Amino acid sequence: MTPADGDDGIDSKAAARQWEGRAKANRDELAVLQADVADVAGLRARLATAEADAAAARLDLARHRVAAQFQHPIELVVGETEEEMRANAAKLATWVVARPDRRPFRC
């Protein structure tokens, strides 16, 4: 029996080298996975920004549709949803028709 061998006949140095190699491989794999996690976090942030931009664009499109439908200036079309915008534009149209002297603009 050599000094490197344990009581059960396993070469301790060889086993230690093998586990050290596995640990280094795991460390390298961990670094790759951490980089992937960072990439995913960045992509999620970009997705959230893109979704917010798309929602704002849809709301702006709705505002333009309602302004065109009711022939109101875009600045007077207000609301958080297209339905709210339509309801407010209809009220404004009723108010303008009922009281021509209050008409703040020409349609």
- What's the pLDDT tens digit per position in 49-107? 999 999 999 999 999 999 999 999 999 999 999 999 999 999 998 887 766 665 555 54
- Is 59 inside a domain boundary? yes
- Is 107 inside a domain boundary? no
Count of domains for the chain: 1
CA–CA gap between residue 34 and residue 24 (Å, rounded): 15
- Is 7 inside a domain boundary? no
- Is 32 inside a domain boundary? yes
Q: Which domain holds residue 51?
A: 12-102
- Is 4 inside a domain boundary? no
- Is 31 inside a domain boundary? yes
Provide mean pLDDT across the span 32-41: 93
- Is 95 inside a domain boundary? yes
Burial of 82 (0-12, 13-18, 19+ CB in 10 A): middle
